[in-house]
Chains A and B, each alone.
Chain A
């Protein structure tokens, strides 16, 4: 069941989006003219380090959320999109603080979507949304399983709208994806769950 009740005053809506090959253009569709919503959004995109800033800049162009590269030790804020930097893993400590750390690649990648998603901790205040977009391999499938287990909402990009559908397919095959949606549908669902500020 989707966790659609509004969070209490101290609660957060935390959205973690996992994206890989073909994902940047999906992200641009999702965040084009995106309103300021009452959520913290973390994007884990597999990409070379030298385009981290460019991806942020592009997403920020027409999006009303603040978009920036996540920094180690940074407390997360409402209305902000954090892009995971390349070459380090990202997790959220206590659902509130970004921790970047060097460790082995997981499923060939660093940052790992699974690492970011499985760092979320169940509590009575926060709401969670996990989203898997286009990409090779199966990173994110374990993360989706975890987010569902802690009561979150899980979405994946429809296979026909993906440049490569292996990642959303792997997520779907866990049996824990609530809904497969095209990029526009993912966008609308995130807005509806989070609520506009």
Chain B
């Protein structure tokens, strides 16, 4: 049986410019882009049934990316998703080590367009 790769990503970032850039990068590749401007919006999309690759900004007001992941775990919303952190912060805080099993990658801003498309396409292939 041929396995069809997942074609959906969610970009979670309070920076609307980043959300727009991601749509421009991925939609021409035939990848559906769901955008969420906050951790709460991300949770809402997951509860509506989103499954795919999640590019999660770390530094967001109210609920940051790590807190959002903790809430995903608490609500049982992890399965079927691959999470890559998208951040300007180079080194994650050591106190967040307990979340590392849930985070497949860590992509540092600024990123090269080609590089992030290649990375994300690779992870989409992990989900069928």
Query: CA A58 – CA B127 in complex, angstroms?
Result: 11
> Size of chain A's interface in residues, with CB distance under 8 A?
24
In the complex, which residues of chain B have a beta carbon less than 8 angstroms from the beta carbon of A47?
Answer: 101, 104
Segment with Cβ contacts to B, from A49-57, A74-82, A148-156, A184-192: A49-57
CB interface residues, B 70-100, toward A, < 8 Å: 78-80, 82, 85, 91-92, 94, 96-98, 100
A168 to chain B, nearest CB (A): 13
Instruction: Tell whether B50 is near chain A: CB-to-CB under 8 Å.
Output: no
CB interface residues, A 103-147, toward B, < 8 Å: 107-109, 135-137
**A136-B92, A137-B94, A163-B106 known; A50-B100 Cβ under 8 A:** no
CB distance B105 to A51 under 8 Å?
Answer: no
Give the secondary structure class of A's interface. loop
In the complex, which residues of chain A have a beta carbon less than 8 angstroms from the beta carbon of B103?
Answer: 21, 136
Query: CA A137 – CA B78 in complex, angstroms?
Result: 22
CB interface residues, A 27-59, toward B, < 8 Å: 28, 46-48, 50-51, 54-55, 58
CB distance B105 to A21 under 8 Å?
Answer: yes
Per-residue CB proximity of B50-85 to A under 8 Å, as 1/0? 000000000000000000000000000011101001
